[in-house]
Copies of this chain bind each other. A is one copy, B any other.
């Protein structure tokens, strides 16, 4: 589990767990939701992964949380804008910490062979061009554009090796 693009090994973005929990509790509270042990476990599993994780991965990392609770709580965390659902190569749910909590805007590098997803840092130039494109697209289509996703696709080193 490594992050690409920011910080030293192990502790990339200054993830202040304590502050994180406080903020999460706050956001949950605003929806009249509690910050329970299960939710903490799931939140930490996601926060520590450093890349989008699937439900099975969350279950492994959050040990002891039943599947149904994981699904239910992930859903709550997403509603509270604490987590975010992202799509990988396959059509199975992957989740990551909300960007305003993880502290760094990033995009994804997806291996279309094994489905692995790696975070990559955002590029200012890219963001700028994208913002412009979003404005134009919004005015052309009438959509209210408030988010974007950039995924690069390819094959990861492991899959390249297994060629």
A interface with B by C-beta (< 8 Å): 4-5, 85, 87-88, 91-93, 107, 109, 111-112, 118, 120, 123, 125-126, 128-130, 132-134, 136-138, 140-157, 160
Contacts and interface: CB of A to CB of B under 8 A. Distances in A.
- Copies, count: 2
Contact of A142 (B120, B136, B157): B157
Q: Is the interface of A mostly helix, strand, loop or mixed?
A: mixed
B148 A150 contact: yes
Contacts of A128: 129
Given A130-B150, A150-B151, 4 more contacts: A125-B129, A126-B126, A146-B154, A147-B152
Nearest to A154: B145
Given A120-B140, A123-B132, A133-B123, A109 B145 contact: yes
B111 A143 contact: yes
A77 to B, nearest CB: 16
A116 to B, nearest CB: 9
B130 A126 contact: yes
A153 B142 contact: no
A146 to B, nearest CB: 5
Contacts of A145: 109, 152-154
A7 to B, nearest CB: 14
Contacts of A156: 141-143
B144 A154 contact: yes
B144 A160 contact: yes
Contacts of A91: 85, 87, 91-93
A112 B144 contact: no
